[in-house]
Structure 1
Amino acid sequence: MIEISSKDTLYMYNLYHITKAFFPNTEIGQKVDEGQEPLVKLTLEGGSCFSITEGEINALTDRQERKKFVTRHVYDWLSKETGIQLAWGMLTGVRPTKLIMQQVETGMREKEIIQFLKKEYAVSAKKAQLGLEIAKREKAQLDLLDYDNGYSLYVGIPFCPSICSYCSFSSSPLEKWKDRIDAYMDALCREITAIGRAVQGKKLNTIYIGGGTPTTLEADQLERLLMHLGDTFSYGELKEFTVEAGRPDSITREKLEVLSQYPVTRISINPQTMQQKTLDEVGRRHTVQDVKDVFHMARKLGFDNINMDLIAGLPGENAGDMRDTLRQIEALGPDSLTVHALAIKRAARLGQEHCRIDLHSEIEQMVEDSAGAAERMGLVPYYLYRQKNIAGNFENVGYAKVDKAGIYNILIMEEKQTILAAGAGSSTKIVLPEKVQMENGKKSNLVRIENVKDITEYIGRIDEMIERKGEWLWR
């Protein structure tokens, strides 16, 4: 076991995640002791030890600067001990492009931004360049939006045909809730109506129906939702309408025909892998052929913006498996491709089973091969984010044709426009024009309002969910 101890909780989050990035399969103990000396101490399994004293950072009065100093010195020591340079250096946050965007908006030149990332955060030149390219593309998309009067809408459908072993989202097996879906839809439509009343006069820029798997709804339920959205909101300023069809085993021709009758501009058909052995192992109850059949069906019905998701590092897969998956995806020719490096969360079954994923060096090859396949399909990287416990300390990257970038995906990462969310487990993010005092005593211009995840609780407490948002929306 690796042991981390600190006098202050300020340092523990970064120290844990930096250490975990170097030693993903090693248990890490954490202890906060206000009376200990030194300030922080890290002891590896072999007995190697590193510490930082109070005296080394006394000259730094800002807490964030102190945290950055400690994180960087621990990173440098671990890198020297292991001989490993992490692709994203000491960055532990999930939104590296947000940091880069800040530098772009100050007018910093591109070479200066890359040097800044390398010097201040030990980011590799390759990832710094990738982050910069994406930040520039994100900015070009965001410049088209009205931050002050515009907003986006997320609608959550928390049901799936089955729960994948790596999944930590707010999803529930359809079979368990089949008799209560209409009750869920009643509550959801009430929340949507309340949001619609609150935003009259504002511009709806994007809609994203996610989950879960929205297409677990029957065709008539899906039509009810889409009709209610159309009756509630004005689409005059709508730039994108995404429905995450997701699981091929939930998609039928009838459901696709319903989607085609409404202003849905983008759908997602997500295989995650095109290896049947892996689909079976992670609990996806569909075949590789199902993916191909549904994709071709969607094309024939006129869908011209189809995204596909893949996961690099699924259990049992190697770089050869990923190359075969990419070969099959290239033959289909999606308009965008999102490649995730596997991240095991505690809420996922793999996490609960303490699955020790082999983070072999091939994960880097999988990521590189994905980028190459995307380039061959004419797709460019347009958004990027990272997750805790992500395989190989890599990233998730969205690639798209020049005119098919997912605007909502950029907004959810950059947090520059209000996103109002409806549904169990959904999260509203209200962007205020200036910082205000939060309940935790800190000042921020971003207000987060979480809906309860439990479906029964959501149905029973829908008035409370509406009221919580109303405290900010109707002020």
Structure 2
Amino acid sequence: MKNYNKSHPIYELVKVLFETSDINFLDELRFNIDGYLIILDLDSNVVNSKIYLNNDLISENNIDNIENINIKRPFDKKIGIAVKKSIYLALAQIKNINAPWGILTGIRPSKVVHDLREKNIDNDEIIDILTAEYLLDIKKAQLLVEITSLQKKHIYPINKDNYSLYVSIPFCPSRCVYCSFPSYSTFKWGHFIDSYTNSLIEEIKELGSFMNDKILKTIYIGGGTPTAIPNENLEMIIKAIYKYFDISKILEFTVEAGRVDTINKEVLEMLKRNKIDRISINPQTMNDDTLKLMNRSHSKEEIKEIFNQAKKIGFNSINMDLIVGLPKENEKDIKNTMEIIKTLNPDNLTVHTLTIKKSSKLNKELDKYEIKKENNLENMLDITREYSKGMNMRPYYMYRQKQILGNFENIGYAKKNKECIYNIFMMEERQTVIGLGAGSVSKIFDSKTNKIHRMPNVVNLNEYVKNTQKMNREKMKALKQMLTENF
């Protein structure tokens, strides 16, 4: 690369376009290379990309005037877009590219749309910018506009004093093969649950008093699987939140019940008794063979039974999570899952595309599993989209992940006024989220710059429990500085 030193965004784009992570950046130019060679030259207001294959020039593209890149951002931001666009267009001349998200490789493409909306750009021009400059497929551009239009009522006007709370319960009965989240088996680490509960309540107490002059809008207890710990422990944590935080302005309190093998009538009644208005019951699939393969010790009939119990108890909103692209599943399996979900009639449906994370068992033993190809995935996602529409659900948030199959996305669907507000705040990063518990991350929103400052808690369970007081002191000191500067 000549006159350009930002290798990471180029790496992420080339990884998608070539479907490989075997990418090297050269310290000096040389042509005796087997395979593809991309030479990038940035000169003042012009970008040139040349692609060689086995030392022969096979494609070239020029962006002749970077200033004309219409993204409504400063020139230094236009340079990055021009560089990626030039590489993309040079490669498109020689390779059939299936990249519906164009040159957008980040987790949160909707943030681009929110930035444009805040500049008073109308929907038609936003779609033009997304398709012409970021090279998105028209359907993805329209999806972003639809989602961000629905989110407006929750995000704006931005109040720098608002925040949300995330509480981590990092325990699970067992580890699903696709999982990469910080989680500890209750079989192996169950003896830590009481001490973890006490340490977490101590952190809740410290943060609650510290944040008492701010406005708490949503609470989300996630994991792991929060309902994997004993009922009384989870209730103690919920009551501690009520005791130490001002919840007078709260809009939503979610507990991710998650796995059906951790839920029963007593758990659901405890949550309802403690005024939890939203829960998530996550089948991932309604096919018993797949559940067994994924290391989930419950059946589709048990999922249906627990869901109907939750509905009878009367939660305001019940979400279900699915994963598209699970090993050995095809369009028929997805239709079967969606037919059952249609009869259950949840308020929210979150559709994830399988992501093969490095730390997951699935990645380590990939040769044991049969993963569907890109076109099958697209068909399966289309099926979930049509069923969601038939259940009167609209897409209300989305995000993408590294190692996501087929370069697709995860989408949350919801019935009218049943959107998970926490999910919107967390994903669009227009509000501070304070994280409590092992593995959680606090994200401080700077309303002046629209940037996020991250502050992670320790992941290691033993370290979290042993060093609670020291960690709290350090966290309070860092938070005080961040919140003073950015709130």
CA contact (8 A) 1:214 1:245 kept: yes
Counterpart secondary structure, 1:361: helix
Alignment correspondent of 1:53: 41
Whole-Å Cα distance in 1 between the matches of residues 461 and 91 of structure 2?
44
Whole-Å Cα distance in 1 between the matches of residues 439 and 380 of structure 2?
32
1:380 maps to 2:380: no
> Displacement of 1:219 after TM fit?
1.1
Alignment correspondent of 2:376: 362
Alignment correspondent of 1:441: none
Matches within 5 A, 1:231-310: 231-310=243-322
Whole-Å Cα distance in 1 between the matches of residues 3 and 251 of structure 2?
46
> Displacement of 1:77 after TM fit?
3.2
Alignment correspondent of 1:425: 439
Matches within 5 A, 1:318-467: 318-354=330-366, 357-434=371-448, 445-467=451-473
> Displacement of 1:473 after TM fit?
3.2
Task: Report sequence identity in percent.
Answer: 39
> Displacement of 1:337 after TM fit?
0.3
> Displacement of 1:457 after TM fit?
1.0
Counterpart secondary structure, 1:121: coil
Matches within 5 A, 1:14-93: 14-24=9-19, 26=20, 28-36=21-29, 47-55=35-43, 57=47, 64-93=77-106
1:100 maps to 2:93: no
Alignment correspondent of 1:153: 165
Counterpart secondary structure, 2:22: strand
1:216 maps to 2:206: no
CA contact (8 A) 1:382 1:405 kept: yes
Letter in 2 for 1:473: L
Alpha-carbon spacing, 1:151–1:22, altered in 2? closer, same or farther (3 Å): same
1:183 to 186, 192, 195: 195
1:12 maps to 2:7: yes
* Structure 1: stretches of 5+ with no match in the other structure: 1-5, 436-443
> Displacement of 1:445 after TM fit?
4.4
1:194 maps to 2:206: yes
CA contact (8 A) 2:329 2:372 kept: no
Alpha-carbon spacing, 1:315–1:9, altered in 2? closer, same or farther (3 Å): farther
CA contact (8 A) 1:213 1:246 kept: yes
Counterpart secondary structure, 1:29: coil
> Displacement of 1:20 after TM fit?
3.1
CA contact (8 A) 1:7 1:34 kept: no
Alignment correspondent of 2:219: 207
Whole-Å Cα distance in 1 between the matches of residues 13 and 175 of structure 2?
30
Counterpart secondary structure, 1:237: coil
Alpha-carbon spacing, 1:408–1:303, altered in 2? closer, same or farther (3 Å): same
Q: TM-score when scaled to structure 2?
A: 0.88
CA contact (8 A) 1:449 1:468 kept: no
Counterpart secondary structure, 2:23: strand
> Displacement of 1:360 after TM fit?
3.3
Whole-Å Cα distance in 2 between the matches of residues 11 and 351 of structure 1?
29
Q: TM-score when scaled to structure 1?
A: 0.90
Whole-Å Cα distance in 2 between the matches of residues 401 and 337 of structure 1?
9
Whole-Å Cα distance in 2 between the matches of residues 23 and 174 of structure 1?
41
CA contact (8 A) 1:248 1:270 kept: yes
Q: Size of the alignment, in residue pairs?
A: 454
Deviation per CA, 1:398-421: give whole Å up to 9, x if none.
100111100110111111111111
Alignment correspondent of 2:70: none
1:141 maps to 2:148: no
* Structure 2: stretches of 5+ with no match in the other structure: 49-64, 68-74, 482-487
Aligned-residue Cα RMSD (Å) equals 2.3
Higher mean C-alpha deviation, range 381-390 or range 80-89 = 80-89
Alignment correspondent of 1:438: none
Whole-Å Cα distance in 2 between the matches of residues 364 and 380 of structure 1?
19
Whole-Å Cα distance in 1 between the matches of residues 364 and 11 of structure 2?
19
Alpha-carbon spacing, 1:9–1:250, altered in 2? closer, same or farther (3 Å): farther
